[in-house]
Structure 1
């Protein structure tokens, strides 16, 4: 794992629809070893330079956006009403710092606030929190101050205000947006490692936008690339803090997860078996998962064109869709190694069997 790459990607601001900073950062890292294209939805297409037009295409996908918020209105007292962008649980939102991008492109720090407990009735104390009951406080005292001095407008993106940290005691990382900047980093490192490899497939990396609001970028990307097969990388929700060792399927330091089923897709069984056989042959640890909920870009990609055999490889992340997550370097490194071996082993005859 390139820790500096992960730090920059994690710290970058990029909620759904506002992925510009992330896209520009990725361009900086890959411009020397891939051919880059971009569409109007801010999807980035990273083509391996020595691709052969006559070979089947493997799409390796990771979404650039993160969950966040958007300014909905500004109250007379200078507090800011907001809505969620992506899937949040309301109880996880209050008392955290956020940064709001103003009309000049500068970031203003605020705190997600609720009514202080001293002023709550018993009913209010026992009531489940709702985003409608929250505001963001930037220290202003009037609507005019927010608009004229802080230059914050309705529709402004709001990002969790978190700084990436590496823990050298146990080789873990803490930060925001690991769903799915870890997937973006996997594509960057994967393409770098494969740049001089002679392969039997064409590799196209897609950094897709707006996954957290309905896999919108992936719909466009899949119809643009027209892949024959696809690997989707994800920061997948870890379940090792509340399930026992036999039920948990996304445990830190037990390897990347391969997802058999979620709400959006049943993964290609033949491609899944192929990938698992590669991992076993290469002594790469992995975890099988059958998910009741959740979904990924795989849901849109596997239904594109005439159908695309697709698998999802996830790096376990504790507490995704909150302000901060925890992940293990080992799981990331194993995910990259696994994907490299899968791609090296693919050819037209094998793909035709999927």
Structure 2
């Protein structure tokens, strides 16, 4: 593996449940310190590195947490009940390997439920509730499970090794939501070491996004950025059964530019600048409307007097499960786009973006991006 793939492997395989991000936080800190000595963290654990000493403050933030579980009860027979941390769909939870992060070390377990052989026909047709499932760690009693080190409140994380698929541009791993954003933030920092930029960049990742965008709020209050980019993943629509209404994005067709989600509509001038910059540098992009979710941008853009914010994501298959797939080209194009944007976000440009009139990157109605399929350039 090359160094970038090794970084992806380390990022995706490291545990980081919401509220228990210490391992991935420490990994992010170590990587950030490779690029800058100026590291800033809020009191919840969100972390960024600062590059530059003057000019507008530009925030780039992925989120380091992943969907996971917490031990909610230990049965008398030694099985563990689970409290979801983040959004899970029952169909993807069963018969999967997990790790319980106990005080005595990591314990391997498997998720289980009643066997389908004893379910009624109607029960088989329904998605099983997660509160009927359990984790089997091989304990024969509550006392034995506790002797292993398990306590109520311990986090439980999925297990999935990172792997490059036969098409080497497709990358399989745990927690691409949202170690993809963490990777992009780190690589932008690396590229900026070779570039002049007229601003102060804060790049890194937040905590507890999957349980309410909490770290985004505290980090935005800590940094008080002038412009922000939330780096995340979006739902790929290129698998069987998906229709145009449900999703039209596809792997390898460029970063997803968020035009709408339940938490934010992007600032118009910033949105237009991002589009124009992508076109100017012939960077492919796709337009993303997500009526069923939100990102850290939802909290960042309402901080203080308001922060013009844009979501730059990569399409991912099978998010909020034990495994997901992204395209390496989408990661690279996201990095290129963000670097080009940072190079032009000087004081004058930021003030123009903040203005009420549509000064920057006006997109004409005739033949506009809203009237075409997503641009794949």
Shared fold by TM > 0.5? yes
Per the alignment, residue 369 of structure 2 pairs with none
Farther off after superposition, 239-248 or 262-271: 239-248
Q: Find the aligned partners of 2:325 and 2:301 in 1 and give their Cα distance.
A: 29
Given the superposition, is the C-alpha separation of residues 126 and 85 from structure 1 closer, same or farther in structure 2, using an over 3 Å criterion?
Answer: same
CA contact (8 A) 2:42 2:222 kept: no
Does residue 277 in structure 1 map to residue 279 in structure 2?
A: no
How far residue 246 of structure 1 moved from its aligned partner, in angstroms, is: 8.7
Does the Cα contact within 8 Å between 2:111 and 2:134 map onto a contact in 1?
Answer: yes
Offset from partner CA, 1:33-60 (integer Å, 9 cap, x none): 2111223211112111xx223x111101
Find the counterpart in structure 2 of residue 75 from structure 1: 75
What is the CA–CA distance in structure 1 between the aligned matches of 2:218 and 2:143, rounded to whole Å?
41
Give 1:344's aligned residue.
343
Q: Distance in 1 between matches of 2:126 and 2:343?
A: 55
Q: Deviations over 1:324-347 (max 9, x none)?
A: 001110111111011111111111
Counterpart position of 2:35: 33
Aligned match of 2:92: 92
Is contact 2:68-2:158 (8 Å) kept? yes
How many pairs align? Answer: 349
Shift of 1:176: 0.8
What SS is found at the alignment partner of 2:145?
helix
Contact 2:100 2:106 in 1 (8 A): yes
Q: Does 1:298 align with 2:300?
A: no
Q: Is the 8 A contact 2:235 2:247 kept in 1?
A: no
Q: Indicate the residue corresponding to 1:42 in structure 2.
A: 45
Residue pair 1:249, 1:257 contacting (<8 A) in 2 also: no
Helix, strand or coil at the partner of 2:62: strand
1:225 aligns with 2:223: yes
- Answering whether residue 320 of structure 2 is matched by residue 321 of structure 1, we say yes
TM-score normalised per structure 1: 0.95
Distance 2:212 2:205 in 1: 15
Distance 2:41 2:345 in 1: 27
The aligned counterpart of 1:60 is 60
- Aligned-pair CA distance for 1:140: 1.3
**Maintained 8 Å contact 1:11/1:176:** yes
Native 8 Å contact 1:78 1:141 kept in 2: yes
Aligned equivalents of 1:107, 1:287: Cα separation in 2: 40
> Does structure 2 retain, via aligned residues, the 8 Å contact 1:98–1:111?
yes
1:4 is matched with 6
Q: Secondary structure at the match of 2:237?
A: coil
- CA displacement 1:160-191 (0-9 Å, x = unmatched): 01111012434110011101101001111101
- Is the 8 Å Cα contact of residues 260 and 267 (structure 1) preserved in structure 2? yes
Q: Which residue of 1 aligns with 2:374?
A: none
Give deviations 1:226-271, integer Å, cap 9, x for gaps: 0000111102221221335797432101111001010000011111
Matched, 1:334 2:336: no
Q: Which runs of 5+ in 2 are unaligned?
A: 354-377
Instruction: List, as ranges, runs of 4+ consecutive aligned residues in structure 1 with deviation greater than 6 Å.
Output: none
What SS does structure 2 have at the residue aligned with 1:336? Answer: helix
Report matched runs for 1:102-251 at 5 Å: 102-104=102-104, 106-148=105-147, 150-241=148-239, 242-244=241-243, 248-251=247-250
Q: Which moved more, 1:245-254 or 1:260-269?
A: 245-254
For structure 1, the residue ranges without an aligned partner over 5 or more in a row are none
Q: Is the 8 A contact 1:63 1:210 kept in 2?
A: yes
Query: Could you say what secondary structure the match of 2:210 adopts?
Result: helix
Distance 1:275 1:141 in 2: 57
What secondary structure is seen at the aligned counterpart in 1 of 2:271?
Answer: helix
TM superposition shift of 1:131: 0.7
Whole-Å separation in 2 of the counterparts to 1:178 and 1:204? 22
